[in-house]
């Protein structure tokens, strides 16, 4: 039986990828490196350090460890500037209804995000209090696609991995959920999350009741 729903944050509950993109783009421009919206798609669900590695590509050899750290901090500063303007209106369509539905069904509910800014984002959206537990970019050492963040979250909820459904918009996140032996639900296009157990085009398209009844 399913006892808990674990939600990814960026891309499932809210769409912060545009803010991440603006932050990375500003940094890339300052460093004279090209960075397009398409490049940004690769960074979905990917940790901050891995994101910078992908952005730099071969240029990575031109930088010291300290410079790498400084660039991560600089991008995060830009990102946090955008976050200050966040509000309830930044919930993705269907997200509010989804949270209500999970609660009504008496299921446990958690966030498992790769972001170290997850708590700030949840506060901006004013939904912190909705969740039984929140795991973020500080919770585990190995980022998605490793299963660690989801296993850690299940443990905190006191449920078994097979009793969890994960909602994820990123390729790496679906990989992580499958590796954790949870029901992996992709939110997004087939090319990105089609390898999960189930898939919905968007958060607004998730019909939880129908989906859970079909699982039985
Ligand atoms: P930060 P999620 C992920 O969040 C984002 O999708 C990804 O683009 C970002 O690089 C990562 O968080 C780290 O974010 O720089 O704030 O620590 O989708 O796992 O909720
Ligand atoms: Mg995501």
Here the ipTM equals: 0.94
Portion of the chain with pLDDT greater than 70, in percent: 100
Mean pLDDT, the chain, rounded, equals: 96
- Is a pLDDT exceeding 90 seen at residue 210? no
The CB of 11 under 6 Å from ligand 1? The reply is yes
Give the tens place of pLDDT for each residue, 31-60: 999 999 999 999 999 999 999 999 999 999
- Whose C-alpha lies nearest to ligand 1, atom 8? 44
- What is the predicted pLDDT for the residue at 214? 87
What are the helix (H) ranges across 84-179?
95-104, 118-125, 148-157, 171-179
57 is in an annotated binding site: no
- What is the predicted pLDDT for the residue at 3? 98
State mean pLDDT over 87-104: 96
Structure tokens at 86: 């966040």
- Whose C-alpha lies nearest to ligand 1, atom 14? 115
User: Residue 40 in contact with residue 103, Cβ under 8 Å?
Assistant: no
The rounded Cα 33 to chain-centroid distance in angstroms is 26
* Ligand 1 atom at minimal distance to the Cα of residue 111: 20
State mean pLDDT over 73-93: 96
The rounded Cα 124 to chain-centroid distance in angstroms is 16
Residue to probe by mutation, ligand 1, list 15, 22, 45, 54, most atoms within 8 Å of CB: 45
Instruction: Determine the Cα–Cα distance for residues 194 and 186; give it in Å rounded to an integer.
Output: 7
The CB of 115 under 6 Å from ligand 1? The reply is yes
Q: Give residue for tokens 């994101």.
A: 51
Whole-Å CA distances, 202 to 10, 21, 33, 61, 190? 13, 20, 32, 39, 11
Give the tens place of pLDDT for each residue, 167-188: 999 999 999 999 999 999 999 9
- What is the pTM for the complete model shown? 0.95
Cα 125 to ligand 2 centroid, rounded to whole Å = 16
Using pLDDT thresholds of 50, 70 and 90, give the confidence band for residue 79.
Answer: very high
Cα 143 to ligand 2 centroid, rounded to whole Å = 12
132 is in an annotated binding site: no
Give the tens place of pLDDT for each residue, 130-147: 999 999 999 999 999 999
The residues near 180 (Cβ < 8 Å, ≥ 6 apart) are 147, 150, 151, 154, 161, 164, 166
- What is the predicted pLDDT for the residue at 139? 98
- What is the predicted pLDDT for the residue at 93? 98
- What is the predicted pLDDT for the residue at 209? 87
């Amino acid at each position: 039986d399913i006892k808990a729903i674990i939600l990814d944050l960026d891309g499932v509950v809210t769409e912060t990828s545009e803010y991440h993109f603006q932050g990375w783009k500003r940094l890339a421009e300052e460093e004279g490196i090209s960075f397009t919206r398409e490049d940004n798609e690769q960074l979905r669900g990917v940790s901050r350090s891995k994101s910078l590695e992908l952005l730099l590509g071969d240029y990575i050899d031109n930088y010291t460890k300290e410079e790498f750290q400084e660039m991560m901090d600089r991008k995060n500063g830009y990102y946090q500037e955008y976050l200050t303007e966040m509000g309830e209106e930044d919930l993705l369509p269907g997200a509010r209804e989804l949270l209500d539905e999970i609660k009504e069904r008496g299921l446990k509910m958690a966030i498992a995000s790769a972001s170290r800014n997850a708590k700030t984002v949840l506060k901006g959206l004013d939904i912190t209090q909705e969740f039984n537990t929140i795991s973020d970019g500080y919770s585990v050492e190995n980022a998605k696609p490793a299963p660690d963040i989801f296993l850690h979250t299940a443990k905190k909820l006191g449920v078994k991995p097979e009793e969890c459904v994960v909602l994820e918009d990123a390729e790496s996140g679906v990989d992580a959920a499958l590796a954790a032996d949870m029901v992996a639900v992709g939110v997004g296009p087939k090319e990105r999350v089609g390898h999960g157990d189930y898939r919905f085009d968007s958060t607004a398209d998730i019909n939880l009741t129908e989906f859970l009844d079909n699982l039985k």
